[in-house]
Amino acid sequence: MTGVAAIIPAKDEGDRIGATVAAALVLPGVDLVVVVDDGSSDQTGRVAKAAGARVVRHSRNRGKAAAMESGAEAVRLLDGAESRHLLFLDADLGETARMAAPLIEPVAAGEADMTIAVFVTRVKLGGHGFVVKLAREGVQRIAGWTPDQPLNGQRCLTRAAFEAARPLARGFGVETGLTIDLLRKGFRVREVQVEMAHRATGTDWKAQLHRARQFRDVARALAARI
């Protein structure tokens, strides 16, 4: 059976990264966890290493797409004769990361090239769904498939699928671009329900700025693929 590497992009997640790594390490098939410390100013990298992860550090914040690519490259360098499947997880999942097994199963069985998580228990978010709507309608319009949770970053995919989608869309457009690019190239993409949850985005000005950046990056990813 092909092994699975969990890749966790992280910035200033020192309070949750240890629990996330510990949970990822017990997932069936996972024999490697790589945390990409994307310019953190806290102890994210140190905590992740203590929890059992291999740590790659960016000296400055380069964004999620760059962290995903750095993590995938680290896995490639550690792979043997057979390339591992890649499981991408958010750093703030905490112990709920142990519920990611359903994402791995269809890929490991050869039934899907990429799986996308659909959180069964939805956290009440502070936004109004504008970014999700933009991404969902954009994927449907361009690739002919309507995802339930198009921005979900919990994904498992084969190495071949990951390489086919490079270069990844920048910033917060990475998930939208990844989905469209793989669908257009004929890869099998499936959404899978999981009992996972991460930290909810708030309603303060920082959260609103975050959503504005998300909207901008998703719009850019869509515009580049029309």
pLDDT tens per residue across span 142-159: 999 999 999 999 999 999
pLDDT digit string (tens) for 76-98? 999 988 999 999 999 999 999 99
Count the neighbouring beta carbons within 10 Å of the beta carbon of residue 40.
22
Cβ contact 172:128 at 8 Å? no
Question: What tokens does 136 get?
Answer: 């969902």
Q: What is the pLDDT of residues 169-224, one digit of tens each?
A: 998 999 999 999 999 999 999 999 999 987 766 667 787 888 899 999 999 999 99
d(CA 138, CA 222): 6
Signed CA dihedral, 154, 67, 138, 160: sign only: negative
Task: Name the β-bridge partners of 119.
Answer: 194
Q: Does the pLDDT of residue 104 top 70, yes or no?
A: yes
| Least confident residue range of 121-130, 162-171, 206-215 | 121-130
Its pTM stands at 0.94
- pLDDT confidence of residue 179: 98
pLDDT of residue 210: 81
